[in-house]
């Protein structure tokens, strides 16, 4: 049961990260609202990963968790760059 819940949390986090990345890509250079949506999705994904992390070492050693955590970092950086680019355009 716990393993299934962990898998669901990681799947949800991955989906939210994918959505955040897509919003950030679409917003490049133009749309602050999409960047806000990307930021919200990123925060939801981060919450999912934190909940999964609370499950213990078994969760953090899971390759899917590690991949999602790396995606979280990469997506955060992508959003920050997009926000900076949008600020430079304005």
**CB distance 27 to 35 below 8 Å:** yes
Domain count, the chain: 1
Dihedral over alpha carbons 31, 36, 39, 41 (to 10 degrees) = -100
Which residue segment(s) compose the domain that 70 sits in?
2-89
As a whole number of angstroms, the distance between CA 90 and CA 5 comes to 44
Rounded to two decimals, the pTM is 0.79
Scored b (16 or more CB within 10 A) or e, 1-25 reads eeeeebeebbebbbebbebbbebbe
Per-residue pLDDT reduced to its tens digit, 11-56: 999 999 989 888 888 877 677 888 888 899 999 999 999 988 887 8
User: Which pair of structure tokens corresponds to residue 88?
Assistant: 């430079």
């Amino acid at each position: 049961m716990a393993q299934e819940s962990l898998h669901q949390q990681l799947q949800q986090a991955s989906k939210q990260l994918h959505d955040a990345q897509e919003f950030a890509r679409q917003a490049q250079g133009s749309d602050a609202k999409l960047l806000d949506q990307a930021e919200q999705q990123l925060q939801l994904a981060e919450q999912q990963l934190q909940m999964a992390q609370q499950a213990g070492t078994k969760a953090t050693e899971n390759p899917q968790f590690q991949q999602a955590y790396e995606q979280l970092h990469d997506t955060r950086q992508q959003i920050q760059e997009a926000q900076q680019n949008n600020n430079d355009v304005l």
